[in-house]
Amino acid sequence: MNKNIKEEIKEFHIPRWEELPNIDLYLDQLVTLLEQYLDPYIGVKDGTIITKTMINNYVKQQIIAPPEKKKYNKNHIATLFVICILKQVYSINDIDALVKLAINTKAINESYNSFCNELEKAVRLTFNQEEYTIEENITFEKRLLKSTTLSFAHKLYVEKAFLNN
């Protein structure tokens, strides 16, 4: 595998809840933030990971709550990070169900940080060709989270290591 790809993956980091902006963002700012963090890893061929139209559609479909006074808060930002990542491997309806399960199990900040931790671990281990084990005695929700993040990690590996995307 290309050395640049390995270096790029070492830098793979999704901002934790505490790292998300403490101020609400306008739609343009939100799109810029998401693109800035995610483009090196999941940049798509047409150059758009997410658009204003996509976000507006997620609001219309009630996947995310409507913005308040045209501004998006931490809950929106965290949910959109998860959507952008998981839409690489799952449908928006599947993502909606996974997000709802997660936030019904734990507070959104805890669920989001767990997602980020598991995602980075899955990506790191996949790219280092190490085993990503799923323990036997864990909750259904934790097993689902690990499986979900691992599916993204495998897709990313194939794209970066072989397809050169």
Q: Is a pLDDT exceeding 90 seen at residue 5?
A: no
Write out pLDDT tens, residues 63-107.
999 999 999 999 999 999 999 999 999 999 999 999 999 999 999
Containing domain of residue 51, as a range? Answer: 3-163
DSSP structure class, residue 89: T
pLDDT for residue 43: 65
pLDDT band at 165 (very low <50, low <70, confident <90, very high): low
- Comparing C-alpha atoms, which of 118, 120, 60, 55 is closest to residue 84? 55
- Comparing C-alpha atoms, which of 127, 153, 132, 152 is closest to residue 4? 127
Alpha helices in the chain (DSSP H): 3-10, 27-42, 52-60, 74-86, 92-105, 108-127, 140-158
pLDDT band at 142 (very low <50, low <70, confident <90, very high): very high
Write down the pTM of the prediction: 0.91
Residue 135 buriedness (CB in 10 A; 0-12 / 13-18 / 19+): exposed
For the chain, how many structural domains are there in total?
1
**What is the pLDDT averaged over residues 140-154?**
94
The answer to whether the CB of 73 falls within 8 A of the CB of 56 is no
Write out pLDDT tens, residues 9-31.
878 899 999 999 999 999 999 99
The answer to whether the CB of 117 falls within 8 A of the CB of 17 is no
